Chain A
Amino acid sequence: MSFLWDSNILRHYLDDHPLLLENLKKVSRRDVMLPVIVAAEQFRGRMDAILKAQPAQLPRAQQFFQQTQEALNKFQLLYFNDRSLAIAAQLIAQFKTRKRYADVLIAAQAIAGRHILVTRNTTDFRGLLPAQQLQNWIDEKIN
C-alpha cells in the first residue's frame, strides 16, 4: 500500500502549503507514488508551453519543463497493469458520463493496488473510491 498523489497535492507540494508540509513530516517519500496520469498531465502542459511559446517566452517555458522533469524524477511513478486496466474498464462502463476521465483512471489504480489516494478534491472521487482510500492532506492533519 502506498499513497497516490493527485495533481492538486503535487501543486501544493511545489507551492509549500504549510499544512501539507506539516503532514509530510510523518510520511516517508518512499511511501508516495504519482499516478502516471498525473505525470503525463505535467509533461503535456510543459511541452505544450514550449511548443506554443514565442521566442521571448521560451526561456521560462523550457525552465519550467526542466524543473518539472527534475521534480517528477524524484517520485516513483505508478504505471497501469492488467488489474488496474480491468478496473478502469469496469469504472468507465459503470459511470458512463458522470465522472472525469482522469479521475476514473487514477481511482482504478488506487483500487487495484489498495492504495490511498491523496487529493484535495475528495468530492469528485466519492463514489469511485471507498472513504478509507481517500485522504486530504491539504485541509486535514494526518495522525
Chain B
Amino acid sequence: MSIAIDKEFRVLVTQAPVCEPNGQPGRWRATALGFPDIAEEGASREQVIQQIRARIVEILRHAEIVTLTVPALPSSAATKEDEELLAQGWDDHGLFKNDPEALKLFDEIEEERDHHLVGSE
C-alpha cells in the first residue's frame, strides 16, 4: 500500500514585456524554483501554471529520491596543520615566508646586537 502525500513546489511565473511592433502581449513562462530545467511557456498565466503542474506530476511519476553518501574531500596537510595552529591562536605565521627582503631586518638586528656590547655605550 502506498500513501500519496501532496508536495508543494514553488513556481516562478513571469510574463514577457509587450511586443512593441505589433502590440501583442508577451508570452508567459513558469519555472520550477530550484529546477531550472523544468519550465513551460504559454499564452496565459493559467495555461503555464497548468502545464508546469502536469509536467511536475509526470516527472514525479517516474522519479525517486536517492540519498548518496560520498567520501568528503580530504583536507590537505597544510590545511590540517593550519587548523591545529589556529586552535592555539597562531593565525599569522609565514607573513614574510620566502621574502628575503622582509627578513633582512632580522640579520641587521643580529649585527646591531653584536656591535652593541655591555659597556660599549
Q: Which residues of A contact B (CB under 8 A)?
A: 7-8, 10-11, 13-16, 21, 24-30, 41-42, 45-46, 49, 60, 64, 67, 70-71, 74, 91-92, 95-104
Mark interface residues in B64-106 (1 if CB within 8 Å of A CB, else 0): 0000000000000000010011001111111111100111011
Closest CB-CB distance, A88 to chain B, in whole Å?
A: 10
Contact B117 A8 (CB under 8 A): no
Q: Which residues of B contact A (CB under 8 A)?
A: 81, 84-85, 88-98, 101-103, 105-106, 108-110, 112-114, 116-121
Q: Total contacts A to B, CB within 8 angstroms? A: 96
Contact A21 B120 (CB under 8 A): no
Bound Cα distance from A95 to B112, whole angstroms: 19
A-B CB proximity, top 3 nearest: A29-B89, A16-B94, A97-B119
Closest CB-CB distance, B111 to chain A, in whole Å?
A: 11
A99 partner, pick from B84, B98, B109, B118, beta carbons under 8 A:
B118
Bound Cα distance from A97 to B121, whole angstroms: 10
Contact A24 B88 (CB under 8 A): yes
Contact A98 B117 (CB under 8 A): yes
B113 partner, pick from A16, A71, A100, beta carbons under 8 A:
A100
Closest CB-CB distance, A86 to chain B, in whole Å?
A: 16
Most buried by B among A15, A64, A70: A15
A-B contact pairs, 6 of them (CB 8 A): A13-B93, A27-B88, A45-B105, A97-B118, A97-B120, A104-B118
Cβ–Cβ < 8 Å partners of A103 in chain B: 113
Cβ–Cβ < 8 Å partners of A67 in chain B: 95-96, 102
B116 partner, pick from A28, A60, A71, A100, beta carbons under 8 A:
A100
